[in-house]
């Protein structure tokens, strides 16, 4: 337990130092954010704010896990890290394209979807082949939160296909949450605390190092990203976090817990789906003032800080409920 707490502290310190060093570099490279034309007009003043700030907590995590290797017995954490890094790389390519084009459109939607699908498939295949995914009589048991003794055995191929689309959907849902200063990191901190505690509960102490380090790293990142933000994590950071959330859920054999711990991510995504569907059905009417739903609250007069605090509290409450679902 002491090792986990030290890792969290190390993640915070390293992320803070790396942020201090990275910020002037991003400014010098003019790696600034472009604001979407269809986005909130009141965000225009944020144009030019450096993006790719997610590199600070990603690098801190890599350093911490590499240092911890001599103390490890279970190396499955590196499968999760590798998957998250691949998602982060997709985000980095997207950010780089945006930076080069000087606009808010990087990779196309289909390019990102296919790349994310490929990463998910590879991660799941490796986890399955190396025993990282539990099997019983050749099938994979799907555990139900709050009914841990109840399980549905699923054929590996069906499970992997199901898991691929869950991963891609969840990762992009986390990405959608990164639309207000401090929001994505604040919502994700309780999620990482949950997965760290769940790993300890399942005696996966080495796996617990990853969420512990990310808790510390995200807290340090908030120092730079709290409103008014000095830097944005970019798709580099948000897709990495999405990959980490999904990877930890599947590594711990509890993918359905994402419904609870990822409640805020899901609500953000549903608000976009409902908005688009309602707009088409009613020929131009809107269900929300703007989607994702955090922009609806902005247009209703909420300050960014209030949105972040309320959404983070909702995330924390849902993670607390989820904890009882795995006991």
Tell me the domain boundaries of the chain: 2-326
Cβ atoms of 5 and 24 closer than 8 Å:
no
Helix axes 77-101, 205-225, angle to 10 degrees: 30
Smallest CA-to-CA distance from 105 within 228, 225, 235, 229 is with 235
pLDDT at 200 over 90: yes
- Half-sphere exposure of residue 264: CA atoms within 13 angstroms, side-chain side: 32
**Weakest-pLDDT range from 140-154, 191-205, 211-225, 303-317:** 140-154
Q: What is the mean pLDDT of residues 47-76?
A: 90
pLDDT at 41 over 70: no
What single-letter DSSP state applies at residue 146?
Answer: T
Q: Quickly state the pLDDT bin for 39 (edges 50, 70, 90).
A: low
**Weakest-pLDDT range from 80-84, 91-95, 147-151, 195-199:** 147-151
- Half-sphere exposure of residue 170: CA atoms within 13 angstroms, side-chain side: 30
Q: What is the mean pLDDT of residues 261-286?
A: 91
């Amino acid at each position: 337990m002491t090792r986990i707490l030290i890792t969290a502290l190390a993640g915070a310190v390293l992320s803070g130092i790396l942020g201090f060093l990275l910020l002037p570099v991003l400014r010098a490279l003019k790696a600034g954010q472009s604001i979407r034309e269809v986005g909130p007009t009141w965000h225009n003043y944020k144009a030019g704010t450096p993006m790719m700030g997610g590199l600070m907590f990603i690098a801190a995590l890599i350093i911490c896990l590499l240092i911890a290797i001599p103390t490890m017995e279970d190396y499955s954490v590196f499968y999760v890290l590798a998957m998250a890094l691949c998602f982060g790389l997709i985000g980095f390519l997207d950010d780089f394209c945006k930076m080069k084009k000087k606009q808010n459109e990087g990779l196309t939607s289909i390019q990102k979807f296919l790349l994310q699908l490929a990463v998910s498939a590879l991660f799941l295949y490796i986890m399955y082949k190396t025993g990282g995914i539990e099997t019983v009589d050749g099938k994979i048991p799907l555990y139900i939160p709050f009914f841990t003794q109840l399980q549905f055995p699923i054929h590996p191929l069906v499970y992997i296909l199901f898991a691929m689309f869950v991963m891609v959907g969840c990762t992009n849902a986390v990405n959608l949450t990164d639309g207000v200063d401090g929001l994505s990191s604040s919502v994700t901190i309780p999620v990482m605390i949950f997965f760290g505690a769940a790993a300890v509960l399942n005696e996966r102490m080495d796996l617990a190092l990853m969420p512990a380090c990310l808790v510390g790293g995200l807290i340090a990142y908030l120092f730079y990203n709290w409103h008014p933000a000095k830097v944005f994590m970019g798709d580099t950071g948000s897709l990495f976090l999405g990959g980490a959330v999904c990877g930890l859920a599947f590594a711990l054999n509890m993918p359905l817990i994402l419904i609870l711990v990822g409640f805020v991510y899901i609500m953000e995504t549903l608000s976009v789906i409902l908005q688009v569907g309602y707009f088409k059905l009613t020929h131009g009417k809107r269900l929300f003032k703007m989607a994702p739903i955090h922009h609806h609250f902005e247009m209703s007069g909420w300050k960014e800080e209030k949105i972040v605090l309320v959404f983070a509290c909702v995330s924390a409450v849902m993670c607390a409920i989820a904890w009882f679902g795995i006991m």
